[in-house]
Structure 1
Amino acid sequence: MTVNGSTGSPRRGGRPTQAEAAALHQRLREAAVRTFLDNGYDATTMVAIAEAAEVAKATLYARYPDKRAVFLDVIPWALSRAVRPEPDPDDGDSDGDLRATLLAIGRAAIEHALDPDIVQLHRIARNESHRFPEFASAASSLGWARRQQQVMDVLRHHTETGALDIDDIELTAEHFIAMVEILPARLADFGVYRTPREQRRHLSHAVDLFLRGVMAR
Structure 2
Amino acid sequence: MAGQLHVNDTDARETVCLQAAPQSDVSLRFPCERPMESSPGFDPARAGKPVSKFVAIADDDEPFQPKRGRPNAHQAAAIERTIREAAAQVFLSEGYERASMEMIATQAGVPKSTLYKRFPEKRALLRAVLGGQVAAWCEVDRSHTGADDLEQRLKHLATDILRHATKPEVQAFWSLVSTAWSGPDEISERHEAIGYTKMIAGFEREIRELGPRAGITARNPRQVATVLMTILCGWIEHVAPTASGPDDEARRFAHDAVDMLIGGSAAW
Secondary structure of the structure 2 residue equivalent to 1:166: coil
Instruction: Tell me the residue number matched to 1:203.
Output: 254
Structure 2 unaligned blocks of 5 or more = 1-27, 34-54, 58-63
In the other structure, the counterpart of 2:242 is 192
1:148 and 2:175 aligned: no
Q: Percent identity?
A: 22
Mark the structure with the bigger radius of gyration. Answer: 2
- Size of the aligned set, in residue pairs, is 207
**Higher helix proportion (structure 1 or 2):** 1
Q: In structure 2, how many angstroms separate the alpha carbons of the residues matched to 1:162 and 1:137?
A: 32
**Cα distance, 1:149 vs structure 2:** 1.8
Distance 1:161 1:136 in 2: 35
Counterpart Cα distance in 2 of 1:86 and 1:78: 15
1:67-86 map, 5 Å: 67=122, 69-71=124-126, 73-74=127-128, 77=131, 80-83=134-137, 85-86=139-140
User: Normalising to structure 2: TM-score of the pair?
Assistant: 0.65
- After superposition, the Cα gap between the structure-2 partners of 1:10 and 1:16, relative to the gap in structure 1 and judged at 3 Å, is farther
Residues 16 and 75 of structure 1: CA distance in aligned 2, closer, same or farther (over 3 Å): closer
Change in CA separation of 1:153 and 1:12 when aligned onto 2, cut-off 3 Å: same
| Superposition pairs of residues 112-127 of structure 1, within 5 angstroms | 112-127=164-179
- Structure 2 vs 1, CA of residues 7 and 122 (structure 1 numbering), >3 Å: closer, same or farther? same
Question: Which structure 1 residue ranges, 5 or more long, are not aligned?
Answer: none
- Deviation by residue 1:143-188 (Cα, 9 ceiling, x = unmatched): 1222222211211112343621311011111112222x21331125
Q: 1:175 to 1:101 in 2, by over 3 A?
A: same
Match of 1:12 in 2: 67
TM-score (norm 1): 0.78
Aligned-residue Cα RMSD (Å) equals: 2.9
- Give the alignment of 1:1-217 within 5 angstroms: 1-3=28-30, 4-5=32-33, 7=56, 11-67=66-122, 69-71=124-126, 73-74=127-128, 77=131, 80-83=134-137, 85-88=139-142, 91-94=144-147, 96-130=148-182, 135-141=186-192, 142-161=194-213, 163-179=215-231, 181-187=232-238, 191-195=241-245, 196-213=247-264
Q: Given residue 171 of structure 2, which amino acid in structure 1 is its aligned partner? A: V
RCO higher in structure (CA 8 A, sep ≥6): 1
CA apart distance, 1:68? 5.1
The AA in structure 2 aligned to 1:187 is H
1:210 maps to amino acid: L
Question: Does structure 1 retain, via aligned residues, the 8 Å contact 2:96–2:179?
Answer: no
Hey, what's the Cα distance between the residues in 1 that align with 2:113 and 2:156? Answer: 45
C-alpha deviation, 1:86, in angstroms = 1.6
Residues 83, 115 of structure 1: 8 Å contact kept: no
CA contact (8 A) 1:10 1:21 kept: no
| Structure 1 ranges of 4+ moved more than 6 A | none
Rate the CA distance shift 1:206–1:110 in 2: closer, same or farther, 3 A: same
